[in-house]
Amino acid sequence: MQSFNSINIGVIGYGYWGPNLVRNFSELPGANVKTVSDFSPELLAKAKARYPAIQITTDCNDIFNDSEIDAVAIATPVSTHFKLALAALKAGKHVMVEKPMTTTSEESIELIAEAKRQKLVLMVDYTFVYTGAVRKMAELVLTNQLGAIYYYDSVRVNLGLFQHDVNVIWDLAVHDLSIMDYVLPEKPYAVSANGISHIPGGTENIAYLTLFFEKNLIAHLHVNWLAPVKIRQTLIGGSQKMIVFDDLVPSEKIKVYDKGIIFNDNDAESIYQKLVGYRTGDMWCPKLDSTEALRTEGLHFLHCIRTGERPISDGEAGLRIVKILEAANQSVKKQGQLVELNLTEVSW
């Protein structure tokens, strides 16, 4: 399916996110958007007006059945991801699917198995992972510039679009979980979560997740659709340095603080006798790559199709987040009771 020529792409779903996929893949060297599919003729008409050369269809099978199409990008409601991605894989297409990958971990496992069987690329569209800010944070953590990681704390709140098919965890926390999964070298072993719904019959619109790790590390996520102000802030604390990531400021998104505590861990008694010391140095805002994340991500998808390389946000990354989301939902039902995770890989 992979060719020396341009990779032909079919995009399924032209609602909120689909237009961004079409625009980016259209502008990428080595890619060509051949067909766009959506249930809505109105949305398809918009796509046609904007990109006269693209074929449009209300039947996604036209994409699956087109032997010239190499890869499919899926930007439809979560509940349809599994069926569409599976069909695409079975039709021999590489797949990039919106997050969360599926509604259950069983479905994710099946997609991973099918992609492996077919030797196709299965990638989840964790757009944030491909931003300059998140890549810089990952670089700082992975090159050990923060020292041992102590905590990961994120807040993602605003007066937002209440979803009716998924709760705020599946809608917003999925972003922070994908960032955390990429930035932190460790994987959590359990989750405790709490949430509340303020709409009769609705899903949770506020939630708090705590993630536990084998190492001396804790992660916490706060997501809220009903906040008067928009906040997108992440703190990462390390033994050497600490990061504040504010995604809403136009520049200076990543601040690296040379701050920390000093203590003598060989002399346990001293802890009880004297205060911990504090260390404060310079703050530093690294310049960030300002390439649009979806462009970087699209190039990575094309690269993985061509080389067979494993994507950063591969099916396993998709599965890990779905497992955490499932466990968080369970914990919310039990008002914070610990739910264990098993994030070991199923394949590769």
Least gap, CB of 206 to its own copies (angstroms): 6
**Token couple for 56:** 């449009």
For 265, residues 6+ apart whose C-beta sits below 8 A from its C-beta are: none
Q: Is 332 helix (H, G, I), strand (E, B) or coil?
A: helix
166 binds its own copies (CB under 8 A): no
Position 27 contacts its own copies (CB under 8 A): no
- Out of 62, 83, 113, 162, which residue is the one contacting its own copies (CB under 8 A)? 162
* CB contact at 8 A, 129 and 177: no
In whole angstroms, what is the distance from residue 204 CA to residue 171 CA? 10
First to last CA, the chain: 21
Q: Which is nearer to its own copies, 207 or 317 (CB)?
A: 207
For its own copies, the binding residues in 181-200 under the rule CB under 8 A are 190, 192, 194-196, 198-200
Residue 262 within binding range of its own copies, rule CB under 8 A: no
291 near its own copies, judged by CB under 8 A: no
Give how many residues touch its own copies by CB under 8 A: 77
When binding is defined by CB under 8 A, the residue of 86, 113, 244, 343 that contacts its own copies is: 244
DSSP lists the bridge partners of residue 193 as: 209
**Smaller CB distance to its own copies: residue 260 or 311?**
260
Provide the token pair at 64: 């699956």
Out of 67, 143, 280, 344, the only residue in the binding site for its own copies (CB under 8 A) is: 280
Report the residue number, 138 or 312, with the smaller CB distance to its own copies: 138
Find the shortest distance in angstroms from Cβ 119 to its own copies: 38
Q: What is the DSSP letter of 214?
A: S
Q: What does each C-alpha distance from 21 to 27, 69, 337 come to in angstroms?
A: 10, 16, 39
Considering the rule CB under 8 A, would residue 153 count as an interface residue with its own copies?
A: yes
Q: Cα(180)–Cα(235) distance, rounded to whole angstroms?
A: 11
Q: Which residues pair with 333 in a beta bridge?
A: none
Sign of CA dihedral 312, 316, 319, 321: negative
- Shortest distance, position 186 Cβ to its own copies, whole Å: 13
237 contacts: CB under 8 Å, gap ≥ 6:
146, 149, 150, 151, 152, 153
Q: How many CA atoms lie within 13 A of 288 on its CB side?
A: 27
Tell me the closest approach of the beta carbon of residue 88 to its own copies, in angstroms: 28
Residue 90 found at the interface with its own copies (CB under 8 A): no
Q: Pick between residue 44 and residue 87 the one whose CB is nearest to its own copies.
A: 44
Q: Out of 106, 240, 285, 309, point to the residue binding its own copies (CB under 8 A).
A: 285
Residue 16 interacting with its own copies (CB under 8 A) = no
Q: Assess contact for 76 and 85: CB atoms under 8 A.
A: no
Is 338 among the residues that bind its own copies (CB under 8 A)? Answer: yes
* Residue 287 found at the interface with its own copies (CB under 8 A): yes
Beta bridge partners of 37: 12, 57
**331 touches its own copies (CB under 8 A):** yes
Q: Does 143 bind its own copies (CB under 8 A)?
A: no
Tell whether residue 201 is a contact of its own copies (CB under 8 A).
Answer: yes
Closest distance between its own copies and the C-beta of residue 84, in Å? 22
Q: Is 259 or 306 the residue whose CB approaches its own copies more closely?
A: 259
C-alpha atoms less than 13 angstroms from C-alpha of 42 in its C-beta half-sphere: 1
Whole-angstrom Cα Rg for the chain:
22
- Interaction of residue 147 with its own copies, rule CB under 8 A: no
Q: Pick between residue 1 and residue 235 the one whose CB is nearest to its own copies.
A: 235
